[in-house]
C-alpha cells in the first residue's frame, strides 16, 4: 500500500476525477503540456515532486524523455517509489540540488515556490541545473484563494508566499533572465528558455529571404511604419538583418550605423545595400554590449531583437547608455506571452512580451515611454491555432517562397491591410508590440 503523506492533501487532489476541481486540474495539465512539449526535452527533473503523481503523468506524456523526481520529505519519496517503480527519485535539499550545472534539459517545479521561505534562491538553483528550460507554476492570486473559500477548503500546509500575475513575473524575471508568463486559472506559470540553434536558424532564414525581402509584406510594412516614426539624425540599427530598414533610413537622410551579431547576416546586409546603390556609414558585426560607450546616437532602432537576448534588461541599458539625452529608442518585439510556441523556440526567442511588463522594463532603465502599440492583428488567429492547438510552427513560406500568382495576390492583400489599416489604427492586440521611448 502507498504510504499516506499526512503533511499534504496532494494525493487526494490529483486523484479527484469528478467535479469543478477535477476539470480545473485537467485544464492545468493541458496548459502545462502546451508549454513543455515544444521544448522537446530529453531529460527532465521534477523538483518538489511529492508523491510523484505529476512526475508519472509527465513521463507518460513525454515518452522520449527520461523523467526523474526530487523531493525533500522522506515519506513522500517512499510513496513516489511505490507509485512510480520505473522512475528515479532523489531526496535532499532543494536549495542545494546534488546535480551538475546544466545536467537536465528541463527542470520543473509545480506548486512548489509558494511553500518555500526563499523562492528566489530556489529559482537560482533550478536555473543552475537546467541546460535548456525551467518551468514553474504557483497559485494565481486572488483567484486561487477565492476558489478555496468557495469550496470551503484550505490546503495544508498553507503557502508561505502568494503572488498576483505582476508580482510573480517580477520575482521570476529578476532571478531567471528571459521567459514568458502563462495562465492556467486558478494557477499561473512561467517558462524560462535558453533557446538553442536560434542563430543558425536565423542565418538560414535570412539567406533564403534576402532576395525576396522587398516582396515580404510584413518586413516591408514594419520597416516603413518604424521609419516614419524617426527624424533624420545619427541612427543605430541594432540587429539590422539584411538591411531593409537601413536602406529606407539612408534614403531619408539618416547617418546610419548598422549592426548585427552574426557575421553572415552582416555580409547579407552589405550585399543588399550595395545592390541598391547605398552605403551605410558603418555595417559591422557586434553584440549590443560591444557598442562603444563613448558613441552617441540620436535614435536607436531594434526590430525583433531583444527577445533573442537572455538578459534583455542589460541590452536595454546598453542602448540607453549610447543614446543622447532625449534620444529615441524604437523597439518591436513579439507580443502575447501566451502564444510562445515551437516557432519561438526554433528561432531563438527567450520570450514573447506582454505590454505592461515591457513598459515597466523600459521605465526601470530610465526611459519615458511615449507610445506603445500592438501590430499584426490579422496573424493572431493563425498563430494561436497552430501553436496552441496543433503545437507546431506556423508555415510562413508564402511570405518569401516561390512567387506564384496566388502568393502574389495574398501578399498584395496583406500589404494593403498593413499599410492601409494597421498603420493608421491601433488594434487592441497583435503579434507584435512597437514601442517609442525617449531617454530621460
For the residues of 26-82, what is the DSSP string, one character each?
HHHHHHHHHHHGGG--SEEEEET-TTSHHHHHHHHH-TTSEEEEEES-HHHHHHHHH
pLDDT over 90 (residue 82): yes
pLDDT over 80 (residue 411): no
Residue 47 located in a structural domain:
yes
pLDDT over 60 (residue 272): yes
Q: Are residues 174 and 97 in the same domain?
A: yes
pLDDT over 90 (residue 67): yes
What SS3 state is found at 387? helix
Calculate mean pLDDT across residues 309-333.
Answer: 95
What SS3 state is found at 188? strand
Q: Are residues 159 and 250 in the same domain?
A: no
Residue 115 located in a structural domain:
yes
Residue 4 located in a structural domain:
no
pLDDT over 80 (residue 198): no
Lowest mean pLDDT among 97-101, 169-173, 403-407: 403-407
pLDDT given for residue 203 in this prediction: 67
- Residue predicted with more confidence, 68 or 178: 68
- Cite the DSSP H helix spans in 287-341: 312-321
37 closest CA partner among 336, 310, 340: 340
Residue 42 located in a structural domain:
yes
Q: Are residues 217 and 345 in the same domain?
A: yes
Calculate mean pLDDT across residues 298-307.
Answer: 96
pLDDT given for residue 11 in this prediction: 63
pLDDT given for residue 204 in this prediction: 66
Q: What is the mean pLDDT of the chain?
A: 86
Q: How far apart are CA 393 and CA 347, in angstroms?
A: 10
pLDDT given for residue 364 in this prediction: 94
Burial 326-361 (b: 16+ CB within 10 A, else e): ebbbbbbbbbbbbbbbbbbbbbbbbbbbbeebbbbb
Q: Are residues 186 and 209 in the same domain?
A: no
Q: Are residues 97 and 227 in the same domain?
A: no
Q: Are residues 282 and 428 in the same domain?
A: yes
Q: E-strand spans in 140-186?
A: 180-184
Residue 320 domain boundaries: 198-439
Confidence of residue 247 (pLDDT cuts 50, 70, 90): very high
The percent of residues above 70 in pLDDT, for the chain, comes to 83
Q: Are residues 349 and 215 in the same domain?
A: yes
Q: The domain spanning residue 103 has which CATH number? A: 3.40.50.150
pLDDT given for residue 438 in this prediction: 97
pLDDT given for residue 192 in this prediction: 86
pLDDT given for residue 162 in this prediction: 85
Q: Are residues 165 and 202 in the same domain?
A: no
Residue 222 located in a structural domain:
yes
Residue 5 located in a structural domain:
no
Tell me the three cell numbers of residue 43: 531529460
- Domain endpoint, select from 193, 213, 240: 193
pLDDT given for residue 391 in this prediction: 61
Calculate mean pLDDT across residues 319-342.
Answer: 92
Confidence of residue 233 (pLDDT cuts 50, 70, 90): very high
Q: Are residues 329 and 431 in the same domain?
A: yes
Output the pTM of the full model: 0.69
Q: Are residues 427 and 313 in the same domain?
A: yes
pLDDT given for residue 14 in this prediction: 64
Calculate mean pLDDT across residues 162-186.
Answer: 82
Could you read off the pLDDT of 115-148 as tens digits, one per residue?
999 999 999 999 999 998 999 999 998 766 665 5
pLDDT given for residue 91 in this prediction: 97
pLDDT over 60 (residue 244): yes
Residue 1 located in a structural domain:
no
Q: Are residues 188 and 224 in the same domain?
A: no
What SS3 state is found at 372? strand
Residue 3 located in a structural domain:
no
pLDDT given for residue 32 in this prediction: 94
Structural domain total, the chain: 2
Could you read off the pLDDT of 17-57 as tens digits, one per residue?
667 778 889 999 999 998 899 888 999 999 999 999 999 99
pLDDT given for residue 196 in this prediction: 60
Q: How far apart are CA 139 and CA 322, in angstroms?
A: 41
- Residue predicted with more confidence, 280 or 242: 242
Calculate mean pLDDT across residues 148-163.
Answer: 59
281 closest CA partner among 234, 313, 320, 316: 234
Q: Are residues 16 and 96 in the same domain?
A: yes
The percent of residues above 90 in pLDDT, for the chain, comes to 55
pLDDT over 50 (residue 5): no
- Domain endpoint, select from 159, 193, 227: 193
Confidence of residue 3 (pLDDT cuts 50, 70, 90): very low
- Domain endpoint, select from 193, 228, 256: 193
Amino acid at each position: 500500500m502507498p504510504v499516506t503523506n499526512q503533511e499534504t492533501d496532494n494525493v487526494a487532489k490529483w486523484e479527484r476525477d469528478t467535479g469543478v476541481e477535477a476539470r480545473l486540474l485537467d485544464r492545468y495539465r493541458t496548459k502545462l503540456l502546451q508549454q513543455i512539449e515544444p521544448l522537446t526535452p530529453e531529460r527532465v527533473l521534477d523538483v518538489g515532486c511529492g508523491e510523484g503523481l505529476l512526475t508519472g503523468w509527465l513521463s507518460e506524456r513525454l515518452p522520449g524523455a527520461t523523467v526523474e523526481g526530487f523531493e525533500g520529505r522522506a515519506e513522500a519519496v517512499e510513496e513516489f517509489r511505490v507509485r512510480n517503480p520505473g522512475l528515479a527519485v532523489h531526496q535532499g535539499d532543494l536549495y542545494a540540488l546534488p546535480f551538475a550545472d546544466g545536467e537536465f534539459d528541463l527542470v520543473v517545479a509545480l506548486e512548489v515556490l509558494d511553500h518555500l521561505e526563499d523562492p528566489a534562491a530556489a529559482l537560482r538553483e533550478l536555473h543552475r541545473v537546467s541546460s535548456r528550460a525551467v518551468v514553474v507554476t504557483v497559485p494565481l492570486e486572488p483567484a486561487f484563494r477565492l476558489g478555496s473559500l468557495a469550496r470551503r477548503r484550505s490546503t495544508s500546509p498553507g503557502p508561505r508566499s502568494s503572488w498576483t500575475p505582476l508580482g510573480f513575473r517580477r520575482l521570476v524575471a529578476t532571478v531567471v533572465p528571459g521567459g514568458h508568463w502563462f495562465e492556467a486559472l486558478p494557477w499561473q506559470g512561467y517558462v524560462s528558455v535558453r533557446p538553442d540553434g536560434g542563430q543558425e536558424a536565423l542565418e538560414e532564414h535570412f539567406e533564403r529571404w534576402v532576395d525576396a525581402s522587398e516582396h515580404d509584406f510584413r518586413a516591408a510594412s514594419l520597416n516603413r511604419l518604424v521609419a516614419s516614426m524617426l527624424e533624420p539624425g545619427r541612427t543605430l540599427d541594432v540587429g539590422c538583418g539584411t538591411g531593409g530598414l537601413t536602406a529606407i533610413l539612408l534614403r531619408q537622410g539618416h547617418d546610419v550605423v548598422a549592426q548585427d551579431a552574426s557575421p553572415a547576416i552582416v555580409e547579407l546586409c552589405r550585399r543588399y545595400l550595395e545592390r541598391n546603390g547605398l552605403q551605410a556609414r558603418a555595417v559591422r558585426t557586434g553584440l549590443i554590449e560591444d557598442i562603444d560607450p563613448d558613441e552617441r546616437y540620436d535614435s536607436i532602432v531594434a526590430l525583433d531583437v531583444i527577445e533573442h537576448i537572455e538578459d534583455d534588461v542589460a541590452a536595454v541599458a546598453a542602448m540607453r547608455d549610447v543614446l543622447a539625452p532625449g534620444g529615441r529608442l524604437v523597439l518591436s518585439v513579439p507580443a502575447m506571452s501566451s502564444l510562445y510556441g515551437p516557432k519561438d523556440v526554433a528561432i531563438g526567442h527567450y520570450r514573447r512580451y506582454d505590454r505592461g511588463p515591457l513598459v515597466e522594463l523600459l521605465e526601470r532603465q530610465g526611459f519615458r515611454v511615449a507610445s506603445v502599440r500592438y501590430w499584426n492583428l490579422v496573424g493572431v488567429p493563425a498563430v494561436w491555432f497552430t501553436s496552441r492547438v496543433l503545437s507546431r510552427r506556423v508555415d510562413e513560406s508564402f511570405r518569401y517562397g516561390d512567387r506564384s500568382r496566388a502568393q502574389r495576390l495574398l501578399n498584395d492583400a496583406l500589404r494593403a491591410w498593413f499599410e492601409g489599416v494597421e498603420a493608421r489604427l491601433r488594434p487592441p492586440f497583435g503579434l507584435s508590440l512597437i514601442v517609442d521611448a525617449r531617454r530621460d
